[in-house]
Structures are given as C-alpha cells and as structure tokens.
A and B are shown apart, each in its own frame.
Chain A
Amino acid sequence: MLECQQLTKRFGERLALDALDLRVGGGEIFCLLGANGAGKTTTINLMLGFHTPTSGTVRVGGVDPAADPHAARALLAYIPEQVNLYPLLTGLENLEYFVQISNGRRYSRDDLMGYFTQAGLSSADAGRRLGEYSKGMRQKVGIAVALAKQAKALLLDEPLSGLDPKAANEFCSLLIALKERGTAILLATHDLMRARDIGARVGIMRAGRMLAQRDTTELTHNELEQVYLDLMRA
C-alpha cells in the first residue's frame, strides 16, 4: 500500500533521506523509529505529496503523490502530532468538514455519529466545541476522519507524544482495530514499548537512512531497546 524505493530527499546540501526502502502492506503497522532529525517526518511528507523526491520513488496505492497528490491523499488519512482542528466548531462538525472536504460526499448525522463513537469518542461530546477537547480526544477525531473516509492507509507523525498512558493505550487499541480492518499504518514514534505492543514491524532510521527493520513479535522489549541503542551508537 505504501512503498518507497531508494527514496532520497535533499534540502540544499542537507541529505534528509538517503535511499530509503520501505513497504507497508494493508493490515500492517510499521513504526518508524529514530532520533530527532532522522527523516521520519520527511518520509511522511513525501507520501502526502508535500515534498517531491530528489530521486527514487514513492507510491501510495500505486499512485505517485508528487504527480497526483489528490489521488494519493484520497487514499490516505494523516494524523500529526498536534491535531489542530477548528476550535469554534463542535467535534462532529469538524469530523463532517474534514470528511466532506476530502471526498465531497454527504454523510448523515447518524453515519457521522457512528464514526465518532467508533473512534472511541463519546456521543455526549459530539456537540461540544473542539476548543474544549483534550489532545487525546482531538487525535481520535483524526481517527474518526480516517474511518469515515475509509482511508486505505494511515500516516501518523508522533501521535502518542503528550498523551497520558491511558489515552495512549486507547489510541493504540484503535490503531490495532484499524489494522485489523486492513488499513496500512505508518507510525513515526519514539515509543519503543508501544511499537512492540501493537505488533508492528519497526524500521530504525538515522540521518536519513534505514539502518534496520525488525519484526517486533520476534523480540522482547529489552532486545528491541538494545537493538535500537546499538544502532544509534554505532
């Protein structure tokens, strides 16, 4: 579903991404791990078509996002670290706006409410203004958008940072539910433990290069941490 081949991105002299190879299929969660500046966000931006590759290819469901960002984005849902929606609109209105703007379809209030609650939000909150939502609740609105637009792939850029443990756990359960529905999930995170818990494959990046890819189901927490630290040190 998501595929990068020899993907390279330069910003002037700086090599942000260096011949990255990556594949995330439907029903799979892939975690990008790596220190600050490793190139995680750049990878996501390339998939969204906000950057054009310097060389190599990137494909979203077979579509080149640099050439046809519209088609690529129609397949994608994107959740940044800070989901800043419209504070003066209610949660449900935000959901409605973001879904309709992405595909132009009309949704009944019941449909929207269905996605809203599937994303782990309480229907009692649907009519509250988004300005009153916690960070975790806003992330969930993002998930509701992904559910409603039936995104084939979900791109998340450090969505867990700043969430309390309970909210983070809830959020991870939602990701697992999405994975089980066949969604391809690419998650940039610093959280090794949760990466393992959600049964993801992980890719460890440094300075724009993919140093290693591992299946976390084969590793314990400690082993994963060791691999990560060894690679960072090397």
Chain B
Amino acid sequence: MNNWMLTTRSELRQMLRDGRVRVALLTLLALFATTLAVGSAQQARYDSNVREAVKADRSIWERQGARNPHSVAHFGQYAFKPAGAISLFDPGLTPWLGTALWMEAHYQNTAAYRAIDDQVAPTLISNLSAAFVLQYLAPLLLIFLGYALIARERERHTLKLVLANGASLRAWAGGKFFSLLTVAAALWLPSLALVAIADSSDERARSVMLVLAYAAYLIMLCALTLAVSAKARTARSALLALLCGWVVMALVIPRVAAVVAERAAPSADAGQFWRDVRAALRQGVSGHDPADAREKALLEKTLAEYGVTRVEDLPVSFAGIALQAGEEHGNEVFDHFYTQLRAAEERQRTVLRLASLVSPWIALRGLSSGIAGTDAQHHSHYVQAAENYRRELQRYLNGNVTQNAKGKDSDYQADALTWRQTPVFSYRTPTFRELGADYLPDALLLLAWIVLSIVALTVAVRGLVREGALA
C-alpha cells in the first residue's frame, strides 16, 4: 500500500471511530436520501396533478357548447409547466416563478400558482431539497470533518513524527485529501439515483451533468477545507476561518450580490409594470397612438382593402378584424415590456456571475438550477411558448369571428364542436443541448474555483515544510 492509501485508510478509520462523526454523517445521509425520496414523490404527484388538470381544463374547454368565440377567449385556459424528473433535485426558482399561466384574451399574464403564495410562512423543511442539502449542509459536515485534518497534526507535532519517519509530504497530504473526498463521495453517491430515474436522453444528459457539477463542487470544498487546515496556525482558528468563510461565501455574498444586481439593473415593480402596460395598451408604446384613432385607421384600411365604403358591405366581420388588430397591438406592447424585463434579468445575471468570482456558491446555484431546468432561463422559455400558444389561439378565435360573425357581432355563437378544433398547448422543455451553452460561464467559473482551491491546497501544504516550520 502506498503512503496516501495508508493515510486515507488510517484517517477514515479514525473518523468512523468518532461517535460524533458517525452521527453527523448518518444524519446528513439520511436527510439527503429523504429529500430525494420526498422530492421524487412530490414530483410524481405534481406530474399526475398536471396531467389531471390539463385533462380537466381541456374537457371544460371543449364542452363549452355554442358560444361566442370572444367570450371563450376571455374564459381562457391554463398552460401548465411540466416539471422534469430532475427538477426534484433542485426546485430552483420554481416556488417563486409559478407553474401555470392563465392564458386569456388581451393579456400576457405572469405565471401563477407559486408555491410561496400557498405557505403561511415558508419553512425550512418545506423548502428542503437535495440541492439545499448539498449546497449548505454538506459544506458544514466537510468543514467539521476536515478543519483539523492537517492543523491538528501540526499542532500536536504528529506531522513532524510522520515526516521524520520518512513519509512523503505529498502522499501524506494526498491521503488526507482523499479521506475527505471519500466522505464527500459517500454523501454524493445517493444523487446517482437521479441518473437512474432519468427517463429520456435529455434527462439522462442533464442528470449526469448535475451530478458532475456537484462532484466538482464537493472536490472544491474538500480542497478549500484542507487548504485552510494546512494554512491555519491552530485547528481552532482553521475551524473559525472555515465557518466564517462558509457564512460569507454561501450566505452573505449571494444575498449582497442579488441586491447589487437588482440595483444595477432594477426589475420593474409589478404594480408599475402593469400600469405602464395598460397605459401603452391605450396610448400605444409611444404614448401618442390612442385606441380610437387606431381603430379608425384600421376601419379605413379594411374598407379600402375590400373596396367598399361601409362596414355593412364588408364580406367579413369587422369586429373580428378589430379584435385581432387589438390583439396584435397588445402583442407589440407586451413584447416591448417583456423584452425590457428580460434584458434587466440578463444584466442581473451578468452581475451575479461577476460575484461568482468571490463566491462559488453563486455559480453552483446558477448551474444547478439551470441543469435541473428550474431557473429563470427555462421559465422564460416556457413563458414564451405559452405566449406563442396564446397568440395562436387568439388568432384562431378572432379568425372564427371574422369569418362567421358578419352582421351578428356579439350575438354570433360558434358551433359547439369548434372548441375541439382549437390547437392544444403542448410544451416540451428545451433540451440541455439547446440551452447548454448558456451555462458555460457558470461551469467555467466553477472549474476555475476547483483549480484555485487545489492550487491553494498545494501551496498551503508546501508551506508546512518550509525551512524550520516543523522544527
């Protein structure tokens, strides 16, 4: 057996003989396995709820009987967001962004059914995800197990004894590193279940990426912990430095960064957003395009197109044309404001990425929720798809009015069978291939952190034997 394997074995033996370590390790493993199991059960329930809801919603839609298409348009439909199997691992922004969109005439709504609205007060347990366990609790365990690995040996002069006996420093430190990695691997192992339950090639690709990202992150944690243990004067100061580092990097910086990002690129307040939208709907985006003038111009244009002078002479229903024109005007307005909103989000994302330079947790969280398909990027993809569908549906309904409602206007009732022929919303989550490039910066940032932490570990370990340090 070579030096590092010997050291790893001896270190693991000691860890497992410490009752506190056993309890901590088992507790965390149990917690992690539970979050995975509970997450997977919730996931299954959510999926079947969505399936039922989609079915119920559609069946109500199809059985509306003879009705005026425009009142049907107001009656609306839900567009449900399907959750991929691995979203159970990291719900990301899902609780804040909602899982269903109400699609109706005239308005592009924001998603509803946000989990945080249903909770009296968000509790830790209800938000406990596998990602949370790995992101916030695993570091604590690794710190607890690793802070003294080198510092204590220097403090108690066992390191000198080990080296005086001819051990190689590199192999010895490597053995320490590997023992901590072994614990991290034990924590990480249950996440492989994710790869096992993936049921499409995209899910498989995503789950592999996800477990790899967490493996990388855990390697980085082990290296950082050990680097601090090698650098600190005493085990106690190593513990203190690590805990402070954890609080600052995992908790403080991400929150500060979010505030800074919000300042740098303010996202509109919801009330103001809708006031602006309504004003623009009335007055046009420019504010100098009032609705009645628009309608007058439309009428003139339509009459000219059909070569007639009176509305009654039109072969089609002008009401339908006007509705569709209003819809298209609205679309322009929504595109304008939602584009602004997305641009602000994108600027915020850039600021957050800069902040990842000082806290790897930001990069990890971005990467994790991105791969799990629960971040803002995936949400906006879904929102866009739902909006495209809404527009298609409105066009269909308005087209029906245009073709059939001539002279009847709001008295017109479309045939009961019409609703079966309307398009169905079927949303496919984008594959990671399609969006993957978007996450390259986060992946690179995380990679940079691993390299940095391993360099830090190497430097700190070398420092252990600089002239006189052990004498």
Taking beta carbons and an 8 Å cutoff, which residues of A are in contact with B?
Answer: 11, 41-42, 45, 48, 50-52, 69-70, 73-74, 76-78, 80, 82-86, 88-89, 93, 97-104, 106, 129, 145, 149
Segment of B100-108, B154-162, B334-342, B363-371 in the binding face: B154-162
When A and B form their complex, what is the total count of cross-chain residue pairs whose Cβ atoms lie within 8 Å?
81
Partner of A50, one of B165, B166, B172, B468: B468
Partner of B166, one of A74, A80, A88, A97: A74
- Could you list 5 A-B pairs, sorted by A, with CB under 8 Å? A50-B470, A77-B165, A101-B6, A145-B165, A149-B165
A104, B171: Cα distance in complex, Å: 11
Segment of B9-17, B31-39, B418-426 in the binding face: B9-17
Kindly list chain A residues whose C-beta atoms are within 8 Å of the C-beta of B162.
Answer: 98, 101
Kindly list chain B residues whose C-beta atoms are within 8 Å of the C-beta of A103.
Answer: 166
CB nearest to A100 among chain B residues: B6
Which B residues from 153 to 198 make CB contacts under 8 A with A?
156-158, 160-168, 172
Distance in Å: Cβ of B47 to nearest Cβ of chain A? 48
Kindly list chain A residues whose C-beta atoms are within 8 Å of the C-beta of B470.
Answer: 50
CB nearest to A11 among chain B residues: B468
Partner of A101, one of B13, B17, B165, B467: B165
The 3 lowest CB-CB distance pairs between A and B, nearest first, are A73-B166, A102-B165, A78-B164
Given A42-B471, A45-B471, A84-B156, residue A98 in contact with residue B17 (CB < 8 A): no
B2 at the interface (CB under 8 A from A): yes
Say yes or no: A80 contacts B157, CB within 8 Å: yes
Distance in Å: Cβ of B238 to nearest Cβ of chain A? 18
Distance in Å: Cβ of B267 to nearest Cβ of chain A? 54
B292 at the interface (CB under 8 A from A): no
CB nearest to A42 among chain B residues: B471
Given A84-B157, A102-B165, A145-B165, residue A51 in contact with residue B471 (CB < 8 A): yes
Partner of B10, one of A52, A70, A74, A97: A97
A89, B158: Cα distance in complex, Å: 13
Kindly list chain A residues whose C-beta atoms are within 8 Å of the C-beta of B43.
Answer: none
Kindly list chain A residues whose C-beta atoms are within 8 Å of the C-beta of B411.
Answer: none
CB nearest to B162 among chain A residues: A101
CB nearest to A78 among chain B residues: B164
A164, B2: Cα distance in complex, Å: 38
B331 at the interface (CB under 8 A from A): no
B374 at the interface (CB under 8 A from A): no
A208, B14: Cα distance in complex, Å: 41
Kindly list chain A residues whose C-beta atoms are within 8 Å of the C-beta of B164.
Answer: 48, 50, 73, 76, 78
CB nearest to B17 among chain A residues: A88
Say yes or no: A101 contacts B471, CB within 8 Å: no
Say yes or no: B14 contacts A88, CB within 8 Å: yes
B120 at the interface (CB under 8 A from A): no
Kindly list chain A residues whose C-beta atoms are within 8 Å of the C-beta of B161.
Answer: 78, 80, 83-85, 98
CB nearest to A84 among chain B residues: B156
Distance in Å: Cβ of B168 to nearest Cβ of chain A? 7
